[in-house]
Structure 1
């Protein structure tokens, strides 16, 4: 009985083994996963398109489950979706793979946010955002620097138009800041201070002073959406500055004068320095004479100006007429002509018996004198008669001799009062000696005062 039970148990166990065996084997196998996109990416991101260049953009997807194909799409925020197939590029093992697609992105792509999504089989897509940044090229047009020739220090204007090559082609770029640069001949470009903004039509006008011959151009530094640009150049020739000159304090005298006597002719040549009129040193000045009744001016003498621009000559009086001084000009300085001064020349009367004369108490003040300011001159003209010395009213000449010179220069003529008192004034531009001269007349011989030295200073 016991033996029979054992056999039955063993048999039962055998049946159980036969039934359970296949179930255990089936549960030990692996269930195959469905294909899926596990990750997507875009390189580079952001995509920056500069000007007319093309950027290669790679769209990457990673899959699992032995995917056999991957489809991708890209789409801007507003616009049409573009479809493409990704190519398998790398086997990552265990049914995983990497897929790629490369696309050329140019300036036709809308700037802004885009979306890339990829899918395999009928699984849910995986997506990633990327940004397209358009940096448009720019260029200048209609560049012109005017005038093409200008005096040194004169103003020039550089004008033109700034444009950008946007998604719809070339168009004016408004409200862009443009700078001015200059290159002298043989030099390099330097940017000048200041800038302007283009108007609604992209136009601009840049102004500057020109001091050297050279080339001018406009420069734009660009922005987050536009590239910088440098314009073509335009040349401007600069002439040496032409300064004005003038002859002042010109005079000839005394007037009238006896034939055969000496006439002093002189004045002062000045040049405009930009900081005021200054004496023009070392320049040749011509003294011209035109006799009464004639139309032609004749050169009589020449003299060179001193440090203060003064010139003067003594000539013999022969005929009545006009005197004038002329400066022919020099490099960078235009010429000048003085006003005319008439002197009447008389035929001398038979020499009568004449009395003596003298000029006393001559004085020039203040001392020292100030450059370009007036000096005051005083003295007394006296003549001797039977009762002694008394004041005499007649014409008296004022003369000046610059320091270091041996030549007296005629300045002006003044008439003494009946008391003999002589008072006048004249501008001074340099240190030197001053005196009064009475040329004499039918009744009295001429005489000169003592000279008075005045030092002139600049303050």
Structure 2
């Protein structure tokens, strides 16, 4: 073991300042000299350390311990190089063959690692220590309690539809995984949660999975506000908790075309086609949608392209009406495009035969 010159000097002190007066001179009666007794005070050491990545981890995780050792010299704390550092890990938490010892570097720092064992559900305290030597006292530091749990993850989470119609139920699905491998986990509680501000979460619905698998929430409760949504698994003594990604769902009022018609049918070429309809919106009560922008489209027979023919607005009763010159067979429709507060809707298509 390497030691600094200062430590070696401390261990080798033989100055008369450390000799008892009676032992410093020869005994005149027997002609012998008594052995000198030496007293050397050991210097105290202090260990500081931390362990990561977390205190609750899955089997097979590599845990890393970082720390340092300082000796309390007369001039103040000083680093010590070459000290052997021991990790104390309960056997139930340790993978066989893990390295548990290391030595300090020139700056007194050290780094050690060990692999977590496979016994899920085990917990125990981990410490790091220096045993001490002829010139330094031993010391140790607690690294906290290490918990071995299966790892869980919620993937593919989605809340639909988006945007969401006011007072419609929400559907949310995803998948819960528990790793490593098939751990026999059963009766797994899941909670669908919502938040109006993205900070405070409340439970909307709950279910229990027989095993890790795909899940769907389709509760009959009606949604009336914009909200953030997530799914949470609270974990157990054998499995770590997990939370899905967050999905923001914008709630808007639904709209629907109650009436739509393009007439007359058939119509003489060069004649007039009248396209009209009535748009409703669904808030707490259904009512006509006044002053709503409407776009009229036409698709000529034998083609797939819709061409915008006019832009207009509904009256106070939700009605619009537009007239067009009949030039070819084709299909008509009206579109209300999505806005900040309302979901868009498209009327049924109506085909007019031009003769």
| Pair in the same fold by TM > 0.5 | no
Which structure has the higher relative contact order (CA within 8 Å, separation 6+)?
2
Relative to the length of structure 1, the TM-score reads: 0.34
Structure 1 or 2: more strand by fraction = 1
Relative to the length of structure 2, the TM-score reads: 0.41
